[in-house]
């Protein structure tokens, strides 16, 4: 038995788990699949299956085969991105944002950095603006069951490190303000909504788990930057709820930080 057991789960509590130490340090993945699923980019630790167990498993836990090499586990009630299970390997990757309390881990490396969005850099300050600003933004979930477009460019993009955003995205979120009335839906047969504890609502795909948008209790609307399928024309501009950030990563891009919203 390990000296320490890490516990975690989704935001709504439908899925919970335990993982015994040692856990691998955290790896951040910027591939298009991880960005689409999380709404920004994904970060995960990993543990052998023999040291992992579900302590609450309900029908809410769903698995989506995102490629021949892996399946992704998410909560179909709240949309939290939780697991990545490689085919043929006796291990499971766990979203670092899904872990409860201090992790004692560190972000060790970034992978698939060539897939990063145009609005941020995997490390250091955001890139300089480049290319023509897109007149419209095409957005979609990973499986394609929900898709919409809206006027571009994205403009300023805000990263949020609150516990809610970290639990749902698996790392932390990045989104931009939008006028909800300008969205033009092509498909939304898989769209689901979850009412957060603060009476906001989050839109996500109930088939693949991709995070799409957030509507506050006051009606303010924002779109997850990771669901944009092409150039965003935006730039990461600030970090909010920085006091709630995970202990396994640093904010090293020099952008303004606020401990609150």
d(C-alpha 222, C-alpha 90), whole Å? 38
Backbone angles phi, psi at 133, to 5 degrees: -70, 130
pLDDT surpassing 90 at residue 226: yes
Question: CA distances (Å), 138 to each of 135, 176, 226, in order?
Answer: 10, 14, 11
d(C-alpha 73, C-alpha 20), whole Å? 19
Domain coordinates in residue numbering, the chain? 5-110, 120-244
Q: What is the 3-state secondary structure (H, E, C) of 170-199?
A: CCCEEEEECCHHHCEEEEECCEEEEECCCC
Same fold, 5-110 and 120-244: yes
Encode pLDDT of 113-139 as tens digits. Answer: 999 999 999 998 988 877 788 999 999
pLDDT surpassing 60 at residue 2: no
- Smallest CA-to-CA distance from 43 within 90, 89, 91, 112 is with 112
Domain 120-244 class, CATH top level:
mainly beta
pLDDT band at 57 (very low <50, low <70, confident <90, very high): confident
pLDDT surpassing 50 at residue 1: no
d(C-alpha 35, C-alpha 157), whole Å? 15
Q: What is the mean pLDDT of the chain?
A: 96
Side-chain-side CA neighbours of residue 236 (13 Å):
30
pLDDT band at 28 (very low <50, low <70, confident <90, very high): very high
pTM across the whole model: 0.95
Architecture of domain 5-110: Beta Complex (2.170)
> How many C-beta neighbours within 10 Å does residue 14 have?
18
Encode pLDDT of 161-192 as tens digits. Answer: 999 999 999 999 999 999 999 999 999 999 99
Tell me, what DSSP letter sits at residue 58? -
Q: What average pLDDT does range 135-155 have in this prediction? A: 97
């Amino acid at each position: 038995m390990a000296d320490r057991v890490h516990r975690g789960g989704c935001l709504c509590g439908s899925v919970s788990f335990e993982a015994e130490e040692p856990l691998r340090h955290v790896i951040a993945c910027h591939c298009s699949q991880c960005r689409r699923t999380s709404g920004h980019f994904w970060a995960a630790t990993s543990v052998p299956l023999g040291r992992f167990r579900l302590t609450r498993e309900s029908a809410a836990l769903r698995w989506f085969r995102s490629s021949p090499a892996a399946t992704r586990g998410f909560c179909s009630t709240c949309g939290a991105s939780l697991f990545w299970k490689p085919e043929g390997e006796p291990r499971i990757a766990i979203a670092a944002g899904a872990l409860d309390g201090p992790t004692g881990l560190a972000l060790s490396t970034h992978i698939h950095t060539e897939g990063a969005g145009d609005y941020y850099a995997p490390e250091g300050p955001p890139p300089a603006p480049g290319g023509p600003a897109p007149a419209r933004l095409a957005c979609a979930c990973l499986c394609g069951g929900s898709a919409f477009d809206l006027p571009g460019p994205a403009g300023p993009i805000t990263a949020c490190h609150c516990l809610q955003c970290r639990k749902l995205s698996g790392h932390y979120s990045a989104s931009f303000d939008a006028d909800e009335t300008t969205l033009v839906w092509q498909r939304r047969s898989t769209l689901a909504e979850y009412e957060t504890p603060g009476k906001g609502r989050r839109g996500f795909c109930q088939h693949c788990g991709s995070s799409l948008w957030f509507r506050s209790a006051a009606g303010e609307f924002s779109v997850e930057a990771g669901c944009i399928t092409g150039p965003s024309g935006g730039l990461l501009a600030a970090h909010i709820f920085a006091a709630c950030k995970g202990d396994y990563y640093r904010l090293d891009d020099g952008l303004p930080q606020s401990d609150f919203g």
